[in-house]
Amino acid sequence: MLGRLWINGLALPVGGTGAALLVLGWGRWRELVVRLGFPLRRGDSVRATLAGIYGGVGAFSVALPLVLASVWVLRWFGLKPPPPNWLVMLLRDHPRLDVWISVSVLVLVVAPVAEEILFRVVLVEAFQAAELPAAAALSALVFGVIHRRPDQLLGLCVLALWLYRLRVRYDSLRPAILAHAVFNVLALAGVLRQLTQT
């Protein structure tokens, strides 16, 4: 079970990295890695950290009402929202410490780092290189769709645009990764609350 969890959790980062290498070519990929901007300009570190924390909380507070409204709209049209995702079901069915630790590492570390590199850098720059208009918005839409949750699509698109804005403003992925992790902490806390109430 834990093996399946790690395989599912690493599929997007590993698969996305492989696809990026194919699309961009190795020479461009190395140039991209250099431009990820993990080191911040002098004096920007504290501001970027605070922006990441506040950005995650802000994105969550905007995304949550959109998700709730999407669920309401789906029900109004007579459509059922999708069942809980596989991580929620795994935590519900196997509430063990090793499962919680694995899920936490994947959701709070692996996903923010991998998804920020893939969606806020590689995909946006691939769209820009293809001269597609609104590259950040297209990347946000792909980010929402790839999560396969129609009830969360709008909220995830808002999150993606918010994270892209942080990346551009600080010319670094660090605040976007931190904001993404904070967003996921709040989402995981919601899952924990849900599971303890049932």
Give the global pTM.
0.83
Tens-place pLDDT, residues 150-186 = 889 999 999 999 999 999 898 888 899 999 999 999 9
Once rounded to an integer, what is the mean pLDDT over residues 74-84?
82
- The answer to whether residue 27 is domain-embedded is no
- The answer to whether residue 30 is domain-embedded is no
Q: Give the separation between CA 171 and CA 152, rounded to whole angstroms.
A: 28
- The answer to whether residue 11 is domain-embedded is no
Tens-place pLDDT, residues 107-129 = 898 889 888 888 888 888 888 87
- The answer to whether residue 23 is domain-embedded is no
- The answer to whether residue 116 is domain-embedded is yes
Band of residue 7 on the pLDDT scale cut at 50, 70, 90: low
- The answer to whether residue 118 is domain-embedded is yes
- The answer to whether residue 152 is domain-embedded is yes
Band of residue 9 on the pLDDT scale cut at 50, 70, 90: low
- The answer to whether residue 9 is domain-embedded is no
- As for how many domains the chain has, the answer is 1
DSSP 153-193: HHHHHHHHHHHHHHHHHHTSSHHHHHHHHHHHHHHHHHHHH
Domain extent at residue 58: 44-197
